[in-house]
Structure 1
Amino acid sequence: MNAKQAEQMRKGAGFIAALDQSGGSTPKALKLYGVNEDAYGSEDEMFDLIHAMRSRIIKSPAFSGDKVVGAILFEQTMDRQIDGMPTATYLWEKRGVVPFLKIDKGLEAEADGVQLMKANPTLDTLLARAAKGGIFGTKERSVINAANPAGIAKVVAQQFEIGKQVLSHGLVPIIEPEVTISIADKAEAEDILLAEILKALDDIPAETPVMLKLSLPTKPNQYKPLVDHPKVMKVVALSGGYSRDEANAKLAQNTGMIASFSRALTEGLSAGQPDADFDVVLGKTVDSIHAASVAG
């Protein structure tokens, strides 16, 4: 573990940018950015375009470690370069931003009200490559669609099993059991989830803390016991479909949580914007998300 990066994650006053759209979500992200599907004819061309978008964000003067303490990358982004440097290296050395890597390979079909992560038999190889490439930590997502105790227990068990695998490579896992924001029993699901995470933390060594990425809760400070937990380096919030203004307002009600927004981060950005206009829009976005992250 990079001690300087760990210190930034524990104490840095800012948020984590989620720049990790994968194959399934990239067309939508590009469309919101003003790039329609007729602009590319292959998957490789699509990923070239999304990398150009991410590079533009990362290189913007608005995107720096004083407000953006970390960034989550897609595997192909880690494998690509910005100005001749590996993306993770560029993030840390040029922007002062701690690099993370998305490692999940999508979701299983729903069962017991949840969607577990698909099996990833080559994960150890990816983790070894990530550690060698300067990645600090990982992010792995599963989804909770109902307050089903058995299902939520399975999600947390799988998340922490993968988390321990990540820790064994000297990386810090961001454990992400997302609760769908539109479900009727969201508050009940969050109560069950909190209890299961607290139990799972008992098996994590104190010297190898984890991070958590959770949906903005129904009850403010629902996750304060996790924010204060000695085995948790940081608790970050996903926007989950809320608009940026909604997400910021909800985040500001939760002491100690910081943002890790994806769509809410790129809202208002367009491929056709001149760089000066792009930087102004991104700067206002970064300022608003940063303010909500430090409000508590």
Structure 2
Amino acid sequence: MSIEQLAETALAMVAPGKGIIAIDESTGTIAKRLSGVGVENTEENRRAYREMLLTTPKLGDYISGAILYDETLRQSTKDGVPFTKVMRDAGIIPGIKVDKSTHALAGFPGEVVTEGLDGLRERLKEYYGLGARFAKWRAVINIGEDIPSGTCIEANAHALARYAALCQEQGIVPMVEPEVLMDGDHDIETCYEVTEVTLRALFDALYNHNVMLEGTILKASMVLPGKDSGESASVEEVAEATLMCLKSAVPAILPGIVFLSGGQSDEDATAHLDAMNRMGPNPWPLSFSYGRAMQSAALELWSKDLAGNVGKAQDTVYARARDNGLAAQGRWDRAA
């Protein structure tokens, strides 16, 4: 795939008023979500849940792409239609999570590095054949006493850059996700500083690995006070701090930025995105790549009657997609 095609896919991912739904929970993570609502973690239940999400009527009005887990990329509807075909027919680009999760960074207590580069070239080749056109790799940066270290930031930036270069080699748009966690008692200023340093290290590494930014999407965390800080920040404060941080560290040539919800409530995640877009115009489209903030209400409804509540659960998914699609244009009305 040429750089023009990569750029075209990246731009389609952040088309006006559209964003990404993240349904790439690993088998371990989805097990926790399902058991939390009393649903048994079987392959069939996981498949049925993802089918409910992906077959939501008119989902493509507000969703440009979906990040899938390896298992989901290979699954089909109960009628035997591959999920990738369901998505393409709805105008939704299939994506795939390719990292192998975080592991302790040896020599640096409390810090982690994401693994999964071994064999990635072959996996990406297979995923492209299965229909994936973008991928995701998540790095995790913890804030705490004397952390993050420069070594941790550098190790994760390097891994993200190597992953991104391998993606583009196979014709897949890399979504790079350096998540600065909300966990901790730090204030919003500390989050700003750590996020800025992390983003600068990331784009430096991408440049050094000859990654074409025109065919890359950033999945960013918002600048927020730590959830144990006792500090609250208004919607406008979060939006202003996040925008300022991004403008200081993210090149304008990037096709777009999508945000993770990162433990925020559904409504907060939407309100912050809406406020940032109202403060525009910005150098890049700002949209969403939400997981829990798109699904939690639907999962709750679906769990009460797996067969009977599909329609009601899908109405909730569509409503969340619409709200976030409007927020991606600065047109969301909280009171509506």
TM category (shorter chain) comes to 0.7 to 0.9
1:236 to 258, 266, 269: 258
Q: Are residues 1:223 and 2:246 paired?
A: yes
What whole-Å deviation, never above 9, does each CA across 1:85-136 have from its counterpart, x for those lacking one? 32223211x2110111000111111536532112442322211111111211
Residue 75 of structure 1 and its aligned partner are, at CA, apart by 0.4
Residue 291 of structure 1 and its aligned partner are, at CA, apart by 1.9
Q: Are residues 1:57 and 2:60 paired?
A: no
Question: Which deviates more from structure 2 when the two are superposed, residues 240-249 or residues 267-276?
Answer: 267-276
Residue aligned with 2:27, SS:
coil
What whole-Å deviation, never above 9, does each CA across 1:205-247 have from its counterpart, x for those lacking one? 54862111111224130213566521x2321111111111111
The aligned runs of 1:194-213 (5 Å cut-off) are: 194-203=199-208, 204-206=210-212, 209-213=215-219
The aligned runs of 1:238-257 (5 Å cut-off) are: 238-255=260-277, 256-257=285-286
CA distance in 1, matches of 2:131, 2:65: 13
Equivalence for 1:91: 87
Contact 2:104 2:110 in 1 (8 A): no
Equivalence for 1:103: 98
Segments of structure 2 that go 5 or more residues without pairing to the other structure are 225-240, 278-284, 332-336
CA distance in 2, matches of 1:217, 1:195: 15
Residue 174 of structure 1 and its aligned partner are, at CA, apart by 0.6
What whole-Å deviation, never above 9, does each CA across 1:10-51 have from its counterpart, x for those lacking one? 53421100010112201122235x343xx35xxxxx232112
CA distance in 2, matches of 1:224, 1:70: 25
Residue aligned with 2:85, SS:
helix
What whole-Å deviation, never above 9, does each CA across 1:147-206 have from its counterpart, x for those lacking one? 433321221111111111111111111111111013313222112112212323433354
Contact 2:200 2:250 in 1 (8 A): no
Q: Which has the larger radius of gyration?
A: 2
Residue aligned with 1:267, SS:
helix
Aligned residue type for 2:246: Y
CA distance in 2, matches of 1:101, 1:67: 19
Equivalence for 1:163: 164
Equivalence for 2:123: 126
CA distance in 2, matches of 1:285, 1:182: 25
Distance of aligned partners of 1:215 and 1:7 in 2 relative to their CA distance in 1, 3 Å threshold: closer
Aligned residue type for 1:101: I
Aligned residue type for 1:73: L
Contact 1:220 1:253 in 2 (8 A): no
Segments of structure 1 that go 5 or more residues without pairing to the other structure are 41-45
Equivalence for 2:63: 68
Query: How high is the TM-score relative to the length of structure 1?
Result: 0.87
Contact 2:98 2:116 in 1 (8 A): no
Equivalence for 1:43: none
2:113 to 113, 116, 133: 116
Aligned residue type for 1:186: C
Contact 1:18 1:260 in 2 (8 A): yes
Query: What is the RMSD computed on CA atoms of the aligned residues?
Result: 2.3
Residue aligned with 1:104, SS:
coil
CA distance in 2, matches of 1:158, 1:7: 24
CA distance in 1, matches of 2:121, 2:160: 15
Equivalence for 2:328: 293
CA distance in 2, matches of 1:279, 1:80: 19
CA distance in 2, matches of 1:207, 1:141: 17
Aligned residue type for 1:181: M
Residue aligned with 1:85, SS:
coil
Q: Percent identity between the aligned chains?
A: 24
Contact 1:71 1:98 in 2 (8 A): yes
